[in-house]
Structure formats: structure tokens, C-alpha cells
Structure 1
Amino acid sequence: MKTPAPETFEGQILALLPSLRRYSRSLTRSDAEGEDLLQDCVEKVLARRSQWRGLNLRGWALTIMTNLYRNARRPGPRSMTVDLDTAENIASPETPSDPLERARLEDALNSLSEENRAVLMLVVIEGYTYSEVAAALDIPIGTVMSRLSRARQRVAERMKADNVITLRRPK
């Protein structure tokens, strides 16, 4: 299979995949659900290519992903799940270099509300500007700044609170 040229629409989408993957996993808090969201997003982006106005492809794709995630979270019929006993060939994730630190960070990120986590991931991890995040999430810039501030503070508090204190012998 031939890789699309970087200047083509498909090439630009291909270049966005790592960023979209990180964002989808941060929204869903799950690698598997994040991959499903990513696939749904890319499918919708490619199907609606004619609706793209030629300006900010990254922002457009993030908006589609955010809306797909929000729509999936609405009350209604749930997606079918597969019993773990019937699943075969489940891939195991790589072992992180420091499992305790990673678990603490995941716990801190998962303690955030969906709105605060989305803003934190887009600004801090993906490097989007406040105005790009505001446009993608359809919220005012001031809301982006306040959500980001609260998210950073909450993560710092959780990381500090869960910090492991080494035991020392009394002198």
C-alpha cells in the first residue's frame, strides 16, 4: 500500500494520527476505547472531506473527535461489550519504566472532570493555543484558561498527596 503524499488531505490526516490518538485516549481513559474513538473520528473526517473549508484541519478533526466522544457519552443504548472469558488474543500493554509513577499520573488525570482533562491534554500535551482549544471545544477563551488552571492545580495536588515518603531510621 502506497503512503499518501504529505501535502494531500490523506497525508495531512496521517500526520495528525499521533496527536489524535493521544487526545482520544485522554478523553476515554482507555487505550481500547481511545483506538475506537480514533478510528471513528478518522472515518468521519474522511467521509466528510467535502465539508472541510481548507483552514485548520487539526482543529476540525479535534472538534469532530470531541463531538463523537460527547455523543457516545449521552444517555441511551450502550454499546455491546464482550465477556473477557470469550475474548481471545488480547494484547498486553508494554510495561512502563516506572509503573508506580505512571499509575499515580493516570490516577491524577482520571480524577479530573471530562472538561478539565480535555483542556489540559490539548494545551499541555498537544501544544494547542488557548484560542485553538476554545474553537475546538466551542467554549470561551476565559473558560479554557480557568479549566486549565483548575486541572493543573488538581493534578499537582494529587501527585503531591500520593507522593511516597521514604522511611529513615531514627538517629
Structure 2
Amino acid sequence: MAALSDSQRQDLMAELSGLRRFCHSLTGNAADADDLLQATVERILQKGMPADAHTAKWTYRVCKNVWIDELRAREVRQRYPATETEEETALSADTVAESELEVAAVSTAMAALPEEQRLALTLVTIDGKTYAEAAEILDVPVGTIMSRIARARKQLLQLLHPAQPE
């Protein structure tokens, strides 16, 4: 693969806001989303993309793969943790507490969704992708996207508006 062409760079720039929302749906918080977005763009700029690739589809797929790599790395770090000082632990707890305070009810409900439902819902309802585009990005059939979105919407309604006892 060659370096990005000017048109691919422009297409990548145009896709960044949607890609950031996708990153947020994967990670669940803004700081990790920004890190994931940066890692995704760096990988695309370093590795390039095929000349015939659809920029949006390519970037979302690269992003998903970068996130999978990050999850695997986190698993290894959890299995073999480095020794932390008390100060580092306290700072992490403060940072986490501040982040949790900023999360709105919808974000909390979205985070409660299974990952495959959250990703499908984010791609279609927030990023405006078609069901076919979302299916291609997530590498699943269109019918699977449709059912994941239907289940996600139903679960969001239940989480945001729990049934009142009679």
C-alpha cells in the first residue's frame, strides 16, 4: 500500500468526526476515544490504504482492529500488572470519579448495551451509515445489523424508562 493520496487525505479528514463518535462508542469515554482516534489515524497514515478502498469503510475497520489490539494489550497488562505507587492509584481513582460524573443517562444506558448492539446502533443512528455500510464495517450480514439495532433500541427504552410498578 502506498501513502495516502490527496483525495484520500481529504476523505479521511471529512470522516474524523464520525470516526471519533465510533471510537467513543467502542471505548465508553472521551479520553480513551481520543487515544483510539489518534492511534487509528496514525496507523492509516503510516500504513496507507489501497487506492481503491472506500475511505470511510477502511477507517472504521482499521479503528475496530486497533481497538481489538488495545483490548488484548489491556488483558495482558491485567494478567501481569506493573507495581503501582499509592500516588498513581489515587490519581487514577480521582480521574475515574471525575469521568463518571460527566456521563449522562443516555451514555450510561449505551454503555450497558452489549458491544455488538452498541456499535451497530452508533454506526447507523449517530454516524448516519446505512445498514449495508454498517454491516460491511462490522463484517456481519445486514439482517444481523437490523436485529442488533432493534434489540439495542428496545433495551435502551427499558434502561431509560423502566416500567412503573402498578
Q: TM-score band (shorter)?
A: 0.7 to 0.9
* TM-score when normalising by structure 1: 0.74
User: Alpha-carbon deviations, 1:40-65, whole Å to 9, x = none?
Assistant: 1001111222x323341001100111
Residue 45 of structure 2 is aligned to residue 56 of structure 1: no
Assess if the C-alpha contact under 8 Å between 1:26 and 1:117 holds in 2: yes
Return the alpha-carbon distance in structure 1 between the equivalents of residues 122 and 55 of structure 2: 18
* Rg comparison, structure with higher value: 1
Q: Which runs of 5+ in 2 are unaligned?
A: 1-5
Assess if the C-alpha contact under 8 Å between 1:104 and 1:162 holds in 2: no
Return the alpha-carbon distance in structure 1 between the equivalents of residues 20 and 133 of structure 2: 18
After TM superposition, give the deviation of residue 162 of structure 1 in Å. 8.6
- Tell me which residue corresponds to 1:83: 88
Aligned partner letter, 1:64:
V
- Tell me which residue corresponds to 1:169: none
Residue 135 of structure 2 is aligned to residue 134 of structure 1: yes
Percent same amino acid among aligned pairs? 31
SS in 1 for 2:76: coil
CA RMSD, Structure 1 to Structure 2 (Å): 2.8
- Tell me which residue corresponds to 1:47: 46
* Number of equivalenced pairs: 147
SS in 1 for 2:52: coil
- Tell me which residue corresponds to 1:143: 144
Residue 111 of structure 2 is aligned to residue 113 of structure 1: no
* TM-score when normalising by structure 2: 0.76
Aligned partner letter, 2:135:
A
Structure with more of its chain in helix, by fraction: 2
- Tell me which residue corresponds to 2:3: none
- Kindly indicate whether structure 1 or structure 2 has the higher relative contact order, using CA contacts under 8 Å at least 6 residues apart: 2
- Tell me which residue corresponds to 1:155: 156
After TM superposition, give the deviation of residue 151 of structure 1 in Å. 0.5
Assess if the C-alpha contact under 8 Å between 1:38 and 1:65 holds in 2: yes
Return the alpha-carbon distance in structure 1 between the equivalents of residues 104 and 7 of structure 2: 39
